[in-house]
Chain A
């Protein structure tokens, strides 16, 4: 069941952007949107607050620490995701630092935001995060426990396109691959459900 937000109090996001207000003080401030769950609405607000921090020195580590410090209501449910993300990032940087002959692509901050914006839509289990050495972009592989064990691989490109590939076997191999684009409006992230639905059959 989708939880609807019953808040009647609306603050403009612009106010939040320039306000030093702590997340703990604004948990009741939710953009009213009938299409979104409370989790999705709150997460979009957190992303906007973190993303708008105007500091060109920002790094992925700093973005992650800001999110973890936000006291976001559903953060505990995301802890496995962020643990995996942090590990993948650190291992990529470590491997890159050891390279002497050919270099990995720099990790894409845009791809990082393309990945984390969809966390409410991703399943909490059977999800593997990776970094692509050719592009420095993040990707996820979602596996299903369905008897045919289908898998869905999503690569979050920094131009906001998502390269997807869904594979399963019936009598023979089935492949569904292509590009998806969910623009830069966080409220539209919920359309990721259309791709995830393939793996949730």
Chain B
């Protein structure tokens, strides 16, 4: 187990991780399966699914915090994009209950990487389906109109 394994670095209170979702991976306000595919154009090919962490309290504050981090890095955030939240500790527990299929590792905080540890196609399909089942999508356009005092759960 890596020292940077998420279980060792995230307390129960801060267990949510956030992922930016581009518009083409959203359909009728719902996340598409492609969100959990390794599709980025990188050499060597992408090894993990990117997530970010924030220590802010509410989900709205967490997403705003991560948006500002991304914008400072000149990352273009589309108006019709979204952010998904995932309870990473629950995901690990539910996906890895019988064998290790995924892991989350810190990749220079606040950035985390989700790795597929299994090469078995059924394991990966099952993991993606659980991730899709467990994640919650927040549309960027809704966040903009959100009163900052209103706390998203």
- Which A positions have Cβ atoms within 8 angstroms of B? 91, 95, 98-102, 104, 128, 130-134, 139, 141, 143, 149, 151, 153, 155, 157, 163-169, 172-173, 175, 177-179
Contact = CB atoms under 8 A, between A and B. Distances in A.
Contacts of A175: 126, 130
Nearest to A139: B33
Interface stretch (B11-19, B35-43, B103-111): B35-43
Given A163-B122, A165-B125, A95 B39 contact: yes
Contacts, number: 78
A153 B41 contact: no
A166 B24 CA distance: 24
Contacts of B100: none
Q: Please classify how large the interface on chain B is, using the bins under 10, 10 to 19, 20 to 34, 35 or more.
A: 20 to 34
B38 to A, nearest CB: 7
Contacts of B24: 91, 95
Interface string B29-62: 0101110011101111110000000000000000
B128 A153 contact: yes
A157 B97 CA distance: 26
A166 B130 CA distance: 9
B37 A151 contact: no
Contacts of B27: 128
A194 to B, nearest CB: 18
A172 B132 CA distance: 16
Given A95-B39, A172-B94, 8 more contacts: A128-B30, A130-B33, A130-B34, A163-B121, A163-B125, A169-B133, A175-B126, A179-B122
B32 A167 contact: no
B114 to A, nearest CB: 16
Given A102-B45, A151-B133, A133 B126 contact: no
B42 A102 contact: yes
A7 B122 CA distance: 43
Counting chain B CB atoms within 10 Å of each CB, which of A95, A155, A165 scores highest? A165
Looking at A101, A157, A172, which has the most chain B CB atoms within 10 Å of its CB? A101
A155 B125 CA distance: 8
A172 B130 CA distance: 12
Top 4 closest A-B pairs, CB basis?
A: A101-B43, A165-B129, A153-B129, A102-B45
Contact of A128 (B33, B39, B122, B125): B33
A173 B125 CA distance: 16
A173 B94 contact: yes
